[in-house]
Amino acid sequence: MSCLGFLTAAQREALAASSAAGAPLSTFASPAASPGKTRRVRSLAGSADARIRESAALSAHAPHDVLTVLAGDPISSVRACVARNAGAGPLLLRRLSGDPEAVVRAWVAANPQVTDDVLQLLIGDADPSVRAVVEWAGRWPAQEGGTR
């Protein structure tokens, strides 16, 4: 049984009105990364261990220059982690869309910051898994600036 069945008509009306307005009922913004946090991410990015570089590549606090360096990592799993990071930005995602590994290209297509033009490049990808992710991502509504 749904909890909505326990709401009064007035409560259901207020709930419907709040979601129709499009504004979230609450928001939470993470604090900006401290200089120490940024230093730690930079240090992780320079590790000899690919798993630690993956962690740096996935960090929401990874500076763009760190993501740019990690996008050229010789290990594809590190590049895939960069492609997963929403902070990678459209230009870096465009660069990664030409990666030789399908898993990296698929993560590019799945990134919410991917632009329509990059999805158009990937729709004709030789790998069926990449094309499937492009089709899935293409159903998301486009945001301002052409990202998903």
* CATH superfamily of this structure's domain 34-146: Leucine-rich Repeat Variant (1.25.10.10)
The rounded distance, in Å, linking the Cα atoms of 78 and 56 is 9
**Residue range 27-71, pLDDT digits in tens:** 667 778 889 999 999 999 999 999 999 999 999 999 999 999 999
User: Which residues are within 8 A (CB) of 141 and not within 5 positions of it... i.e. 6 or more apart?
Assistant: 148
Judged against a pLDDT cut of 50, whether residue 134 lies above it is answered with yes
For the chain, domain boundaries: 34-146
112 touches 148 (CB < 8 A): yes
